[in-house]
Structure 1
Amino acid sequence: MKRVTNSPSPQGDVVLPCLNEAAALPWVLARIPAGWRALVVDNGSTDGSADLARRLGARVVHEPRRGFGAAAHAGLLAADGDLVAFCDCDASLDPADLPRLAAAVSAGQAELVLGRRRPVGRGVWPPHARAGNLVLARMVRRRTGLRLHDLGPLRVARREALLGLDLTDRRSGYPLQMAVRAAEAGWRVTEVDVPYRPRTGDSKVTGTWRGTLQAVHDMRRVLA
């Protein structure tokens, strides 16, 4: 298996919240761009994900509190690169796309760049998950004025600026809270199209109606 090569002084850290993603980790870690460091945040995996990530050369952080936001924020606190990227660890999104997102932040053209998911085939994005995402994007538009189409997890910003947002959600509302507080802080927020592929393994959130409804509930609570 190919090991990820981490720079001792990375341009940025790629935070990868992880819950039982051993099947996807080799592909994901092999796609980490040069100059970036993989930071796998194990959120209670029972399939050996943490040990595998470590063997593949990633830095591993353990976050016992369950929840996407808990894992993502633990990664942010552990990061020390100038830039921090967030990416799902299920191979549905390609970390190799991150330099395209990071370019606008590095050039001072935006403070937060989100990956707008573009499905590569039918059935990749379940209708219930896509509908929930569109509803939330419209709610964010009304609340903040941000003309976003997607609240997906692939995103890049500067670490110090993210810490300054004082993000508090530790569940599925974390990505939305980041966008809302960025807008309230006057950040320029943009989107870049990225391919969205079939995930590897079982979905923890939006692959089921129950998971989607929970995510929508968490995000509505953030907006409230």
Structure 2
Amino acid sequence: MTKINVIIPAYNEGSSIAQVVNDIPKTVDEVIVVNNNSTDDTEINAQKAGATILTEEKKGYGYACLKGMSYIANKKEKPEIVVFLDGDYSDYPEELDKIVAPIIEKNIDFVVGARVKKLRAEGSMTYPQILGNYLATSLMKLFFGSTFTDLGPFRAIKYVKLLGLKMEDKTYGWTVEMQLKVLKQKLSYIEVPVHYRNRIGVSKVSGTVKGAIFAGIKILGWIFKYSFKK
């Protein structure tokens, strides 16, 4: 059976994290929750739900993801697939099996769970998120001939390919960096439509003006960096 690890960056997701962990299919070997300097009961609730708990005190989505990757790198038995999933319960963790299916069945390198409009709950994506996704994916199509339509955080990738990306972004640019490097390295990829609902709690990015602005700057910065990089 294919060995799968899940990395969940979590900052103050105490009210949702247990539901996220509990809804992950049993096909997953290990669920890794990276407590990103939370001030609530994120850690204890994730632990009670059966997740492995890591602590990353430096705030940032990328910092948390890199912490999870570092943990996996030091494991004796490495996974074949790593899945990234948010801890706010906006995604449907039970859809993980269909996210990893193209990798297992068709040998695809990278899969993004695309939050298509017909499967999204009303209001589940803010206007800045929708606009940012459209702008970023349009630029990737223009510069790289990409077919991406979303920067969805629910994603799966072969572990060996993930290592080859040499991920480095520490904050808001993590998802777009990954997709740009997949394009630059000409890895095979596909999008799988997924359901999306209103998150539990307030978004740390799209829920604030500062977060939305800095996320937009980061995303555009990565795109233009790779567009003119030989």
Q: Does the TM-score normalized on the shorter chain lie above 0.5?
A: yes
| Preserved contact between residue 88 and residue 199 of structure 2 (Cα < 8 Å) | yes
The aligned runs of 1:1-224 (5 Å cut-off) are 11-36=3-28, 37-79=30-72, 80-118=78-116, 119-223=119-223, 224=225
- What's the secondary structure of 1:39's corresponding residue? strand
| Preserved contact between residue 113 and residue 191 of structure 2 (Cα < 8 Å) | yes
- What's the secondary structure of 1:107's corresponding residue? helix
| Preserved contact between residue 110 and residue 189 of structure 1 (Cα < 8 Å) | yes
| Preserved contact between residue 83 and residue 155 of structure 2 (Cα < 8 Å) | yes
* Structure 1 residue runs without a partner (length 5+): 1-8
* Structure 2 residue runs without a partner (length 5+): 73-77, 226-230
Question: Percent identity at matched positions?
Answer: 29
| Preserved contact between residue 129 and residue 207 of structure 1 (Cα < 8 Å) | no
| Preserved contact between residue 112 and residue 155 of structure 2 (Cα < 8 Å) | yes
| Preserved contact between residue 21 and residue 49 of structure 1 (Cα < 8 Å) | yes
1:204, distance to aligned residue in structure 2 (A): 0.5
What are the superposed Cα offsets for residues 175-204 of structure 1, whole Å, 9 maximum, x if unpaired? 111111111111111100001100001110
| In structure 2, distance between residues paired with 1:143 and 1:67 | 28
Q: TM-score, normalised by structure 1?
A: 0.91
What are the superposed Cα offsets for residues 72-93 of structure 1, whole Å, 9 maximum, x if unpaired? 1211222332110001100000
Q: TM-score, normalised by structure 2?
A: 0.89
| Preserved contact between residue 2 and residue 104 of structure 2 (Cα < 8 Å) | no
Post-superposition, which runs of at least 4 consecutive aligned residues in structure 1 deviate over 6 A?
A: none
Q: Which AA in structure 1 matches 2:216?
A: V
What are the superposed Cα offsets for residues 80-107 of structure 1, whole Å, 9 maximum, x if unpaired? 3211000110000011111101111112
